[in-house]
Amino acid sequence: MLPEEEPMNRTLKRGEIALMAGVLCALGLGVWLQREQTALADNVIRLHVLAHSDREEDQTLKLAVRDQVLVQAAKLYPEDATLEEAHRILEEHLELLAQTGQAVVEEQGYDYPVSVELTRCWFPTKVYGDFALPAGNYNALRVIVGEGKGQNWWCVVF
């Protein structure tokens, strides 16, 4: 004869309740953060600059290209432009922005090509002082110097 089975205890212990509450809170927070990131992503255009390589010289060149592309981009649209206006204006001036980057490369004595595109791509979380942009997909003005195999640089262009 088999020993009598004990009936399953259907009451939850405090620890189990706390664990379930914690999981539910984490899931809720995750959904909220995803909504916040998506809302933020729909209101900015980020700058994504890729260096030719990870060599120190190429990283320094990447920053010089970044600086001039930002200066040129800021001249293209008025301060009160909407996101749609900024996107349209940047798209209309991709060749000018590529030429701006190319001029920096040539002034520095390199012969790397520079290409510029508007695209949507993934960015990691980036903290700017006391402001952070969460990881996620964003519209981006991407500048590729040479082979674009070096470290990235990110910021917001609009």
In tens, the pLDDT along 90-130 reads: 999 999 999 999 999 999 999 999 999 999 999 888 887 87
Instruction: Determine the straight-line distance between the first and last CA of the chain, rounded to whole angstroms.
Output: 77
Q: Which two tokens stand for residue 63?
A: 């920053």
Could you read off the pLDDT of 42-90 as tens digits, one per residue?
Answer: 788 999 999 999 999 999 999 999 999 999 998 998 888 899 999 999 9
Residue in the block written with tokens 């399953």: 8
CA dihedral 63, 65, 67, 71 (to 10 degrees): -170
pTM: 0.73
